[in-house]
């Protein structure tokens, strides 16, 4: 298994790096750790990655709360998107800041929001599988641009 992690050093966010679990265990400083992701097919960690899309990473935290929402990172930026559903249909998306991160630039946030609108049913299904049914969810790499 390879673990992807992002560190925070001296108040600044670092890049996402990949390491073997043994390396992370030896070198992890709790005050530095911001996020750990499992690589594709290895989603039994605390932050299952659900999608990769042209440099964006979409993921959940394992101790999440409602409303259904997804964290989206690209580079050193992160924004949280709340999915507001009515009758099973997406009626609105709210953006929130992720504590300790700079938000996605507007252009990237718009791309991420367009992706969420196109894939919201799949995101909701992954949320239900992970949080309600306690099933593992797999990361899906999307290589076709959404409109």
Domain regions of the chain by residue span: 45-142
CA distances to 49, 95, 103 from 52, in Å: 8, 19, 18
**Two structure tokens written together for 145:** 């641009």
Per-residue pLDDT of the chain (147 residues; tens, 9 = 90+): 445 555 545 555 555 555 554 444 444 433 333 344 443 343 344 578 999 999 999 999 877 678 899 999 999 999 999 999 999 899 999 999 998 899 999 999 999 999 999 999 999 999 999 888 988 899 999 999 998
pTM given for the model = 0.70
Residues 97 and 111: beta-carbon distance below 8 Å: no
């Amino acid at each position: 298994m390879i673990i992807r992690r992002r560190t925070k050093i001296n108040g600044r966010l670092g890049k996402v790096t990949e390491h073997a679990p043994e390396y992370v265990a030896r070198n992890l400083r709790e005050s530095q750790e911001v996020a750990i992701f499992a690589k594709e097919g290895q989603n039994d960690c605390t932050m299952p990655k659900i999608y990769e899309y042209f440099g964006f990473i979409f993921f959940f935290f394992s101790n999440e709360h409602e409303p259904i929402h997804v964290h989206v990172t690209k580079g050193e930026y992160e924004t949280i998107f709340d999915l507001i559903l009515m009758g099973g249909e997406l009626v609105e998306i709210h953006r929130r800041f992720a504590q300790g991160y700079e938000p996605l630039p507007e252009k990237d946030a718009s791309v991420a929001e367009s992706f969420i609108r196109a894939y919201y049913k799949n995101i909701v299904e992954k949320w239900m599988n992970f949080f309600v049914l306690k099933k593992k969810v797999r990361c899906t790499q999307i290589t076709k641009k959404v409109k």
